[in-house]
Amino acid sequence: MTISGTSSQSLNRRLRLGMVGGGRGAFIGAVHRIAARLDDRWELVAGALSSDPGRARESGADLLLPPDRIYGDFLEMARGEKHRDDRIDAVAIVTPNHAHAPAARAFLDAGIHVICDKPLTTSRDEAEQLAKLADQSGLIFAVTHNYTGYPLVRQAREMVLAGELGQIRVVQVEYVQDWLATRLEETGQKQAEWRTDPSRAGPAGSIGDIGTHAFNLAEFVSVQEVEDLAAELHTFVEGRPLDDNAHVLLRFASGARGMLWCSQVAVGRENGLRIRIYGEKGGLEWHQENPNVLRFAPLGEPPRLITRNGPGSGAASRSASRIPAGHPEGYLEGFAQLYSDIAEQIMARMEGREPYPLSLQVPTVEQGIRGVRFIEAAVRSSKEGAAWTPI
Amino acid sequence: MTISGTSSQSLNRRLRLGMVGGGRGAFIGAVHRIAARLDDRWELVAGALSSDPGRARESGADLLLPPDRIYGDFLEMARGEKHRDDRIDAVAIVTPNHAHAPAARAFLDAGIHVICDKPLTTSRDEAEQLAKLADQSGLIFAVTHNYTGYPLVRQAREMVLAGELGQIRVVQVEYVQDWLATRLEETGQKQAEWRTDPSRAGPAGSIGDIGTHAFNLAEFVSVQEVEDLAAELHTFVEGRPLDDNAHVLLRFASGARGMLWCSQVAVGRENGLRIRIYGEKGGLEWHQENPNVLRFAPLGEPPRLITRNGPGSGAASRSASRIPAGHPEGYLEGFAQLYSDIAEQIMARMEGREPYPLSLQVPTVEQGIRGVRFIEAAVRSSKEGAAWTPI
Amino acid sequence: MTISGTSSQSLNRRLRLGMVGGGRGAFIGAVHRIAARLDDRWELVAGALSSDPGRARESGADLLLPPDRIYGDFLEMARGEKHRDDRIDAVAIVTPNHAHAPAARAFLDAGIHVICDKPLTTSRDEAEQLAKLADQSGLIFAVTHNYTGYPLVRQAREMVLAGELGQIRVVQVEYVQDWLATRLEETGQKQAEWRTDPSRAGPAGSIGDIGTHAFNLAEFVSVQEVEDLAAELHTFVEGRPLDDNAHVLLRFASGARGMLWCSQVAVGRENGLRIRIYGEKGGLEWHQENPNVLRFAPLGEPPRLITRNGPGSGAASRSASRIPAGHPEGYLEGFAQLYSDIAEQIMARMEGREPYPLSLQVPTVEQGIRGVRFIEAAVRSSKEGAAWTPI
Amino acid sequence: MTISGTSSQSLNRRLRLGMVGGGRGAFIGAVHRIAARLDDRWELVAGALSSDPGRARESGADLLLPPDRIYGDFLEMARGEKHRDDRIDAVAIVTPNHAHAPAARAFLDAGIHVICDKPLTTSRDEAEQLAKLADQSGLIFAVTHNYTGYPLVRQAREMVLAGELGQIRVVQVEYVQDWLATRLEETGQKQAEWRTDPSRAGPAGSIGDIGTHAFNLAEFVSVQEVEDLAAELHTFVEGRPLDDNAHVLLRFASGARGMLWCSQVAVGRENGLRIRIYGEKGGLEWHQENPNVLRFAPLGEPPRLITRNGPGSGAASRSASRIPAGHPEGYLEGFAQLYSDIAEQIMARMEGREPYPLSLQVPTVEQGIRGVRFIEAAVRSSKEGAAWTPI
């Protein structure tokens, strides 16, 4: 457990984080900040928090950033930080999708590790160029598919890896919400505005915003890659240019079959990310709205309820837990786990040692690319009448 | 509520039921018998309970049938009953699928109402010929899609009809089991044997056995017809000639979209029939493993838990309930409801009156045909790589 | 499983049941009739269905009883049946509480087995005299603490008996409803009227109506007797002469401790009978509103969900099940199990053999006495300020 | 929502926190640190983290405290901080129970606000003296009954205050665990050691450790005070000097009745703190293991599921939430809410304004005293055979 304090003893300081995006009125930026803070391995010291310079300044002041590290834009920030002795160890990019790639490039160029929100980019080409750049740089490039930070998601993956399910047959995954069941984007709600605007969100609506999370979870837990998909994207709310519901059939390279459903119009559902996975020898089920329990059914035996940090949960779950079983951890702790793992990776480099192996589960630019390829395949398949399309 | 006794006062007797199939070792026949008995409107008086004459005789004796009404086969029974004064009012056909049609024809010819298990037949042509015959006969022809007898399934349908969900957008339905996760049919288990044998089950495995139930439920609750589907059928257990898992995309005539998943290899799932349906104004969710609660989420309000016969449940639920809310009713009571409704229909005819309107919700040969068309479309679509196929 | 038909082959007939009480407007009588019918071992052939002769006659006609076996009162019925060749095998007494004892005596005198609703009587003296009479008669005397018929309640008891929990430490039991949260008895509702009227219900309200069920369940599952209790009875609804809520501390003879809560004013609760039992080596939890799952937590291992007739459920559960796991059974099936077990006991006597051992789990007059002693102790303890009082 | 950043803008700095106790191997100290950090209103700058000076030093270094503010004991720390310009704004006392009072006195004397873990002290006299001292000092004295920080606990209280339940009738509260089901204190487990040692834990085991939380929750949500109780404390694990299970009857001053059960031997239960509260007009139920949903049943209507920050949740819930409904918050966020509210109170004083009203819900020394009085009453009642005892 990471609870007993920072593990940065040898470093004798917290890691320094900068942030691009996430100013006043933003949602995910604030989540990243809590996540970075929670396990006490990071401190936020610099930011280009808005594309609007005034708001960037005010937002920086809100967060008690030193005035000389409140930047007007990400280029200025990359330049400004590059040559400081106390420069940031990593940058968190939490802008709308279309700005991910340019910002990431700027910081890679400056030799700074990157933590980027998903989806990685708005096109596959851009994603692949970015990956190449990341590769060449040798820097850490994490993509915050944050649900992989949930202890019991990791427990599930470990159980699949350990063969407790046998050969995987079926993977059902869904992420359903209702916040876009009406035309919220017309009301001035910022989150809704950019997420339904192709110029900022890219070519995908629900499939990009939440479908990618579901897709990432399916591959992460099953330890299988999807090879082909057949997708039916649909827009239910009139006048909305992007999909708000998607149904996708999945064929995994291993022969497993699956389904993915994402929706932002499922009235009565808030953040219903759920995965169910069945193999020859067992089944696993997990739901992010009640994330502290994993249902495991071994073939021919009664299902078991494995709780986070409780009996039957192993190293992957325990090392990502802070508090005892029965005391719920949630979304922020799962997100924090990525930040702690990235810190571990960075510190291991600084100290010339191997990082703690489980810290390497953080999604990288590779998973980022998978997400973008998934989006493109889904959009293309849907346009062709749900034709089977390779990812 | 039907609890206070038989409603056959005016008739002054119970209705007389005959049964084809359902002898020793069968499952669904015994369920039909309990269902017929439960509300005290029927008595079983005749049977051709097995295609094996010896077993037919022994099974009839088990059930205390009068010896002269224990028949060696259904033809003999249809002939034998046709001219009796106390002839059966209806016959229940509970054989494997391939025998439904010939038996049904025999009893229609004898002027006897038919209650037939699903799927109606093993081919669409046969189903349509049977429907024509049923039509011409003017007799009642019920198909036991028994999940429509659950009080809260009816409640859900009523709410859709009353517009409480607004225009329907998404219908998610699934029926998942695990009893065929291994090669059970090799162990001598009768149920598994015929259900995985194309000569008795027809061209479909899971999609016919349980997929049709899910399909029927989707159309029943949504009050919408599926127009096209794209299906991916798969067999996971080696050597099994029929599908044991199916993923299906659905397009409804109204523009709604949906998904159907059925599986007999989902380890840890027993009889997981679940429907979730979302409209512009609300969402409904129901699960047959916990059937006494219906989750209803009106847009922008907290979800409500409507219990069978509890606050917020209306006539459709109450009239299909026997006991107070909080005392669970289950599968047998839901099945019994069909028998009570069929009794009501028959008695109304005898008495020259209109039946109680809700009793007309029992699926008929028309729904039986829909099920067979669904199977054929799914099989064809799957062969053509999940091509969109009209039902 | 009992599904495959009546087991009365050797007898070659169904058992004959008479009923006292349970006419038009009654609740529990109709439940008893369904319960008797469900497994096809009984037929109702006689009745004194109401204390009002006109209603008795009409109710008998409703149920298609032969006119000569529709009796005006229970004495007439006991006399009338006593000397018939085809006399009833057993009588079900389903009147309000105060009439249980006189009716039971009449049928014991007539040499007829008795199935009596709970609480057995309205006083301990009466209960003990009745028990003596029953003993002397050598007849079967069953008391319908129907929750003992639930398959997983029996499973729980078997697990306790098998030592899977080790020495029992804590037993928490509750039965909570809300139907008397307002003054329903003033509205003409018959059930509420007699249950809140001391002249018919006896000295206890909720503690007698549902507390006795909870108490019975606690002793049945724990296989322990309560030695002393400290009770706080309370009436929340003004003007009601009997308790509508009770809190009781329990000390078991074995040293275990427990609590019992019953309430008829717990708004939002319908029939919340729940038991939780913890021993040195494990814990068990069961809830009658979702009765097809039993939660079993072995010390230091993940909790398991044992389903009725599913993996991990043993003979006690399976023999009381009709249909496969995942198809819910409910209240009526649990009640029916008592009738089937009583039938088995009667037939075993007729056939001069030992009954199937699990059929002997049906509560008898002894458990009936325990219930009445529990009521009296609770009422007395409460009057004395929750003083510890022996049962 | 507090997510968008620190609200200490006007102050232009974070508040400074010191900590007594909570060094290496401790549990609750680390929780307090995360809680203080989570909403970015505090920074930890000083500590006397262990009664062992060496461990105190190492623990301080772990946490990157400035060397001159790592103190050997709390007296040294109170003296050392008192006169600094940048002295701590508040101290968190997270030692075993017996050390709470002396440490609190030292910091009150130094003019420093106090945040103290529960139970406040090990005797009522000590608690009342401390309260007097706190009163005289005019300082803030918060007691971390952390469950009051859960958004939906606050929502429940608001609904009671708003009369949505009408007059309260019944309050059922429980806190059940299993971690002391065996003699864990013999294995070297520090938490178990001191909690079962009267010299450090005081006169109560489970009733002090978790019973006080349950008691506090009952009074907090019901907005009623318990007047009398009747308690049965018991020790199931041989050789343990303090209770590990307690059953308590409650009488509220308003006439409401209730029950409290706490246990550390309930095998299969982790941190099962649950409250159910019923009034004339409605019922509420909440469970800390799934804290993001509150079940609200208005009389005669279907129960509603109010989610944290979801439809139907009001200001009390929303202002204590960080992220959207459906993304679970947990134990740490609830704990953090207390720290944020205390920060708000302190800053309001600094700024000469009224604090945000909901921030005043943080339990104070008054609730601390209630807890200690509850413990003493329960211990005394139990010794006298569960005699009714005033609190």
Average pLDDT over residues D52-68: 94
Residue D5 has a pLDDT of 42
- pTM value? 0.96
Superfamily of domain B15-146: NAD(P)-binding Rossmann-like Domain (3.40.50.720)
Rg, C-alpha atoms of chain D: 20
Q: What mean pLDDT, rounded, does chain A reach?
A: 95
Residue A26 has a pLDDT of 84
Specify whether the CB–CB gap between B323 and B38 falls below 8 A: no
CA–CA gap between residue D38 and residue D343 (Å, rounded): 12
> Looking at the predicted structure, is the pLDDT value of residue A6 above 50?
no
Residues D324-373: pLDDT tens digits? 999 999 999 999 999 999 999 999 999 999 999 999 999 999 999 999 99
CA–CA gap between residue D256 and residue D250 (Å, rounded): 8
Q: Which tokens go with D376?
A: 């003493």
Inter-chain CB proximity C312 and A305 less than 8 Å: no
Average pLDDT over residues D38-44: 97
The alpha carbon of residue D1 is apart from the nearest alpha carbon of chain B, in Å, by 19
What pLDDT band is residue B254 in, cutting at 50, 70 and 90? very high
> Looking at the predicted structure, is the pLDDT value of residue A302 above 80?
yes
Inter-chain CB proximity B179 and C270 less than 8 Å: no
Return the closest-CA partner of residue B211 out of B333, B376, B99. B376
Subunits with at least 3 CB pairs below 8 A relative to chain C?
Answer: A, B, D
Chains B, D: CB contacts under 8 A, how many?
32
Return the closest-CA partner of residue A266 out of C304, C57, B276. B276
Inter-chain CB proximity B330 and C330 less than 8 Å: yes
C312 to chain A: which residues are within 8 Å by CB? 301-302
Across the interface, which of A301, A305, A307 has its CB nearest the CB of C312?
A: A301
Chains A, C: CB contacts under 8 A, how many?
32
Q: Which of D267, D277, D301 to mutate to test the interface with C (most CBs of C within 10 A)?
A: D267
CA–CA gap between residue C179 and residue C198 (Å, rounded): 18
> Looking at the predicted structure, is the pLDDT value of residue D2 above 60?
no
Superfamily of domain B148-325+368-390: Dihydrodipicolinate Reductase; domain 2 (3.30.360.10)
C258 to chain D: which residues are within 8 Å by CB? 247
Q: What mean pLDDT, rounded, does chain B reach?
A: 95
Residues D356-366: pLDDT tens digits? 999 999 999 99
Chain D CA closest to residue B304: D304
Chain D CA closest to residue C245: D170
From the candidate CATH numbers 1.10.760.10, 3.40.190.10, 3.30.360.10, 3.30.300.30, the one assigned to the domain spanning D150-325+368-390: 3.30.360.10
Subunits with at least 3 CB pairs below 8 A relative to chain A?
Answer: B, C, D
Q: Which of D305, D308, D309, D317 to mutate to test the interface with B (most CBs of B within 10 A)?
A: D305
Return the closest-CA partner of residue B203 out of B235, B157, B176, B180. B235
The alpha carbon of residue A221 is apart from the nearest alpha carbon of chain D, in Å, by 20
Find the angle CA(D50)-CA(D54)-CA(D56) to the nearest 5 degrees: 30
Residue A2 has a pLDDT of 44
Across the interface, which of B296, B300, B311 has its CB nearest the CB of D300?
A: B311
Inter-chain CB proximity D329 and A331 less than 8 Å: yes
Q: Estimate the crossing angle of helix A331-351 against helix D331-350, to 10 degrees.
A: 90
D64 to chain A: which residues are within 8 Å by CB? 6, 8, 12-14
Specify whether the CB–CB gap between B336 and B35 falls below 8 A: yes
Average pLDDT over residues D48-76: 94
Return the closest-CA partner of residue C334 out of C217, C223, C219, C177. C217
Residues D77-134: pLDDT tens digits? 999 999 999 999 999 999 999 999 999 999 999 999 999 999 999 999 999 999 999 9
Residues A172-227: pLDDT tens digits? 999 999 999 999 999 999 889 999 999 998 899 999 999 999 999 999 999 999 99
Q: Which sequence spans correspond to the domains of chain C?
A: 159-325+368-390
Residues C48-106: pLDDT tens digits? 999 888 999 999 999 999 999 999 999 999 999 999 999 999 999 999 999 999 999 99
Query: What φ, ψ does residue D234 adopt, rounded to 5°?
Result: -150, 150
Chain B CA closest to residue C310: B270
What pLDDT band is residue C2 in, cutting at 50, 70 and 90? very low
Inter-chain CB proximity A310 and C302 less than 8 Å: yes
Interface of B with D (CB under 8 A): 296, 300-307, 310-312
A332 to chain D: which residues are within 8 Å by CB? 38, 322-323, 329, 332-333
Query: What φ, ψ does residue A71 adopt, rounded to 5°?
Result: -105, 155
Residue C27 has a pLDDT of 86
Q: What is the CATH number of domain A15-146+358-364?
A: 3.40.50.720
Across the interface, which of B270, B292, B328 has its CB nearest the CB of C310?
A: B270
The alpha carbon of residue B278 is apart from the nearest alpha carbon of chain A, in Å, by 6
Q: How far is CA B251 from the centre of its chain?
A: 23
B302 to chain D: which residues are within 8 Å by CB? 296, 304-307, 310-312
Residues D10-32: pLDDT tens digits? 678 999 999 999 999 888 999 99
Average pLDDT over residues A151-173: 98
Helices (H), chain B: 28-38, 53-62, 74-82, 100-109, 124-137, 151-161, 190-195, 198-201, 206, 212-222, 315-318, 331-350, 365-383
The alpha carbon of residue C295 is apart from the nearest alpha carbon of chain A, in Å, by 9
Specify whether the CB–CB gap between C368 and C120 falls below 8 A: yes
Across the interface, which of B301, B305, B310 has its CB nearest the CB of D311?
A: B301
Torsion sign over Cα C21, C23, C28, C29: positive
Chain A CA closest to residue D59: A5
Q: What is the CATH number of domain A148-325+369-390?
A: 3.30.360.10
Q: Which tokens go with C172?
A: 């928490």
CB neighbourhood size of D123 (10 A): 17
What pLDDT band is residue D4 in, cutting at 50, 70 and 90? very low
> Looking at the predicted structure, is the pLDDT value of residue A118 above 60?
yes
Inter-chain CB proximity D9 and A61 less than 8 Å: yes
Residue D350 has a pLDDT of 95
Inter-chain CB proximity C268 and D249 less than 8 Å: no
Inter-chain CB proximity B265 and A182 less than 8 Å: no
Inter-chain CB proximity D303 and B304 less than 8 Å: yes
> Looking at the predicted structure, is the pLDDT value of residue C200 above 60?
yes
Inter-chain CB proximity D304 and B307 less than 8 Å: no
Inter-chain CB proximity B62 and C307 less than 8 Å: no
CA–CA gap between residue C138 and residue A205 (Å, rounded): 77
Chains B, C: CB contacts under 8 A, how many?
142
Q: Which of A301, A307, A308 to mutate to test the interface with C (most CBs of C within 10 A)?
A: A301
Inter-chain CB proximity B305 and D306 less than 8 Å: no
Residue A115 has a pLDDT of 98
Across the interface, which of B33, B290, B326 has its CB nearest the CB of C271?
A: B326
What pLDDT band is residue B3 in, cutting at 50, 70 and 90? very low
Across the interface, which of D296, D302, D307 has its CB nearest the CB of B311?
A: D302
A245 to chain B: which residues are within 8 Å by CB? 169-170, 257
> Looking at the predicted structure, is the pLDDT value of residue B5 above 80?
no
Residues D188-244: pLDDT tens digits? 998 899 999 999 988 999 999 999 999 999 999 999 999 999 999 999 999 999 999
The alpha carbon of residue C297 is apart from the nearest alpha carbon of chain A, in Å, by 9
Chain C CA closest to residue D299: C267
Q: What percent of chain C has pLDDT over 90?
A: 93
CA–CA gap between residue B215 and residue B258 (Å, rounded): 11
Average pLDDT over residues A127-151: 97
Q: What mean pLDDT, rounded, does chain C reach?
A: 95
Class of CATH domain C159-325+368-390? alpha beta
Q: What mean pLDDT, rounded, does chain D reach?
A: 95
Average pLDDT over residues C17-28: 92
Across the interface, which of D300, D302, D307 has its CB nearest the CB of B304?
A: D302
Residues B159-212: pLDDT tens digits? 999 999 999 999 999 999 999 999 999 999 988 999 999 999 899 999 999 999
Residue C206 has a pLDDT of 97
Inter-chain CB proximity A311 and C305 less than 8 Å: no
Residue B6 has a pLDDT of 45
Residue C346 has a pLDDT of 97
What pLDDT band is residue C10 in, cutting at 50, 70 and 90? low
Inter-chain CB proximity C304 and A307 less than 8 Å: no
CA–CA gap between residue B213 and residue B370 (Å, rounded): 11
Residue A10 has a pLDDT of 62
The alpha carbon of residue A313 is apart from the nearest alpha carbon of chain D, in Å, by 14
Q: Which tokens go with D322?
A: 């960080």
Residue B27 has a pLDDT of 86
Subunits with at least 3 CB pairs below 8 A relative to chain B?
Answer: A, C, D
